[in-house]
Amino acid sequence: MLAISRALRQRLVSAMEEGLDLAEPPDPQLTAASKPEFGDFQANGAMGLARQLQQAPRQIAQTIVDHLDLADLCEPPRIAGPGFINLTLKPEVIARAIAERVGDPRLGVAEAPVRQRVVVDFSSPNIAKEMHVGHLRSTIIGDCLARLLAFRGHDVLRLNHVGDWGTQFGMLITQLKQVAPQALDAADAVDLGDLVAFYRQAKQRFDEDETFRTQSREEVVKLQRGDPFSRRAWALLCSQSRQEFQRIYDRLGVGIEERGESFYNARLTGVVEALDSAGLLVTDDGARCVFPDGSSDKRKQGSALPPVIVQKRDGGFNYAATDLAAIRYRLAGADGGEGDAAERVIYVTDAGQASHFEAVFQVARRAGWITPGQSLEHVPFGLVQGADGRKLKTRAGDTVRLRDLLDQAVQRARADLERRLADEGRQEDEAFIAHVAETVGMAAVKYADLSQNRITDYQFSFDRMLALQGNTAPYLLYAYVRIQGIARRGGALTATAPDPIRLGAAEAFSLARQLLHFDEVLVELERELLPNRLCTYLFELSQTFNRFYDRVPVLKAEEPDRSSRLALCRLSADTLKLGLELLGIGTLDRM
RNA sequence: GCUCCCUUAGCUCAGCCGGAUAGAGCAACUGCCUUCUAAGCAGUCGGUCGUUGGUUCGAAUCCAACAGGGAGCGCCA
């Protein structure tokens, strides 16, 4: 519908220029109609011009309509309320637009006019720690955004900024040397669960034991100097964690390239030098930092941001230095030198890091690393909460491991399915049950997350996400399954659509109109990066389809209605499948 | 103390550049399986959009203040 909407807008602009005496180029404020009874589009531009033109808004609307030539696209425009211009597309225009989309692999969604190099930084678990629910949102949202951007034709680099460096390795290696030296010797001697336990012990000893503390610090220094034994131990730890992470990514169907913090080690001194020569660096209490807003004073009252500490008093670097090095590397390279040459860099992290990103982005800007045409965006998301409205925890009070959470979702999906099979007296083999349970479980977890507005906290509930009715993955999957059911019973979804497509039944016409909005939703998603908008669309599409399915016969209809309706079914299935795919969710033919 | 985010139906949430009578889902209640169809469809019930001001043709949406909830705030990430 974007093409049609652009054409309408252009004609409204012309009509306003012809009919009205305006100083500036007019904005017709063309949007989708707020209610179906208002038609397909509404133009709200007349009302805002009332004061400027010293005319009643309805009269302005009338003048616009008098100069408007839309006869080839729309029914005669209607003026309503205080001065809305309501536009209803002619059925044949909708039918033609549908015919163009059926069978098109992109379903009428154009590629972005300008292809960008985009870095999506997401997931980012820490080595020697389990992935937990906190990583879930970043992973799911980041994957979805990366898929969408790639579909729109952008060159997407998915980066996993794993926590693979820092003082914690000193503790961990020291602890393992003393308690489980075999872990540092051979691959697979310990699994991630053991590492987590060792990490916990190490942390405790670090806090209590002076000798251990000293040993750990020495170990960090050795590691940083590149001592072969320490490096090998470190590499082994990383590899153990990496295997575990990969199991989760494989299960979620998420592709991501690891480029951890250690990647930037060699570039940290360069960051300090660059900031220094840009005149941004101030030494304060022995630490080298950049103060916000160009102020070199200590934090003033009312200054929103604390200073960004780039190099600690002891000469060591911290995460801000690493993040700055990463920004610099990602934005550099357009000249053929080192770097990713990204034009858009997207960070999918929790909302609590907003001020950190605001600060480092500001430093990057003032350092001149961001050239025109490049942007850095923090894409924040809220906490995952339990049913009690507090941060999600196990009954014992521990953080919930991601693998356990996924297992439980699949297990519940399976129990649901088996109960249903028993109720309906259906027989299915184990492979079918396992596949459906896995698909539904993953879909439910992902969809529940993506369908919430990203920015607000999100209440996690297996019961709600696995519910068969409402705005849930199972509901959408079922709508898709129903279409596949038609296909199985003899409705060739691949047959060519008749020309013209007939949209006689009211439910068929509504479905057609809804299908045409897909491209607008994706373009908006690319700009706003809010996956819940796509979820809402797919849910409403499923509802509209179910209404159609309930009331309009397809296979039993006479030609040419039969093949017209089959074409609608096909486009509905393809739209649901592609939409879900962009969310990272797989479909089923039967469930 | 300072900064940011949030507050919409009993519950979970949408609400796009300010636009028409504020929308879903769940829960509750009422109907609909001789049909390609019930993991579905139709309907009923449910609102001080946290409060008070302001901006304007028009505010859930923008601004200010206040209340409540959450997060962050110099050498952890």
Mean pLDDT (whole number) for A135-145: 95
Query: Can you list the alpha helix ranges (DSSP code H) found in A21-66?
Result: 45-48, 50-53, 57-66
Q: Which amino acid is it at A59?
A: Q
pLDDT in tens, A293-342: 744 444 444 456 788 999 999 888 889 999 999 999 999 999 999 999 99
pLDDT attached to residue A339:
95
**Beta strands A344-350 and A117-121, pairing class:** parallel
A22: containing domain: 2-89
pLDDT > 90: percent of chain A: 64
Specify whether A199 is located in the same domain as A274.
Answer: no
pLDDT attached to residue A399:
82
Residue A294 domain-assigned (yes or no): yes
What string of DSSP letters covers A73-130? TBSPPEEETTTEEEE-B-HHHHHHHHHHHTT-TTTTPPPPSS--EEEEE----BTTS-
Q: Which amino acid is it at A183?
A: A
Specify whether A232 is located in the same domain as A319.
Answer: no
* CA/C1' separation A59–B43 (Å): 40
pLDDT > 70: percent of chain A: 97
pLDDT attached to residue A298:
41
Q: What is the predicted ipTM? A: 0.95
pLDDT attached to residue A300:
40
Highest mean pLDDT among A168-172, A382-386, A430-434: A430-434
pLDDT in tens, A540-554: 999 999 999 999 999
Residue nearest to nucleotide B71 (CA to C1'): A352
pLDDT attached to residue A107:
95
* CA/C1' separation A374–B7 (Å): 35
* CA/C1' separation A273–B72 (Å): 29
> Do A172 and A199 contact (CB within 8 A), yes or no?
yes
Residue nearest to nucleotide B1 (CA to C1'): A301
**Does the pLDDT of residue A429 top 70, yes or no?**
yes
* CA/C1' separation A389–B68 (Å): 15
Specify whether A250 is located in the same domain as A270.
Answer: no
* CA/C1' separation A560–B48 (Å): 54
Name the nt closest to A507 by C-alpha to C1': B41
Q: Where is the domain boundary, A332, A361, A381?
A: A381
Specify whether A289 is located in the same domain as A374.
Answer: yes
* CA/C1' separation A33–B63 (Å): 28
Mean pLDDT over each residue of chain A, to the nearest integer: 90
Residue nearest to nucleotide B35 (CA to C1'): A553
pLDDT band for A495, please (50, 70, 90 cuts): low
pLDDT attached to residue A360:
94
pLDDT attached to residue A303:
52
Name the nt closest to A35 by C-alpha to C1': B20
Name the nt closest to A308 by C-alpha to C1': B74
pLDDT in tens, A393-408: 887 778 889 999 999 9
* CA/C1' separation A558–B34 (Å): 21
> Do A450 and A136 contact (CB within 8 A), yes or no?
no
End-to-end CA distance of chain A: 33
**Does the pLDDT of residue A30 top 60, yes or no?**
yes
Which DSSP helix (H) or strand (E) runs through A159?
strand A155-160
pLDDT in tens, A63-91: 999 999 999 999 999 999 889 999 999 99
Specify whether A255 is located in the same domain as A270.
Answer: no
Name the nt closest to A302 by C-alpha to C1': B2
Mean pLDDT (whole number) for A361-382: 93
Q: Where is the domain boundary, A65, A89, A113?
A: A89
Specify whether A85 is located in the same domain as A185.
Answer: no
Strand B nucleotides with an atom less than 7 Å from a protein beta carbon: 1-7, 12-17, 19-20, 24-27, 35-37, 39-42, 56-58, 70-77
Q: Where is the domain boundary, A224, A259, A294?
A: A259
Residue nearest to nucleotide B6 (CA to C1'): A456
From the list A257, A150, A155, the residue with the least C-alpha distance to A581 is A150
Residue A238 domain-assigned (yes or no): yes
Name the burial class of residue A284, with classes exposed (0-12), middle (13-18) and buried (19+) by CB atoms within 10 angstroms of its CB. middle
Name the nt closest to A488 by C-alpha to C1': B36
Mean pLDDT (whole number) for A140-160: 97
* CA/C1' separation A425–B45 (Å): 36
**Does the pLDDT of residue A112 top 60, yes or no?**
yes
pLDDT attached to residue A575:
96
* CA/C1' separation A546–B32 (Å): 15
Mean pLDDT (whole number) for A556-570: 90
Residue A441 domain-assigned (yes or no): no
Which DSSP helix (H) or strand (E) runs through A11?
helix A2-19
**Does the pLDDT of residue A356 top 60, yes or no?**
yes
Mean pLDDT (whole number) for A14-34: 89
Domains in chain A, number: 3
Separation between Cα atoms, residue A461 and residue A464, nearest integer Å:
5
* CA/C1' separation A456–B48 (Å): 24
Residue nearest to nucleotide B77 (CA to C1'): A319
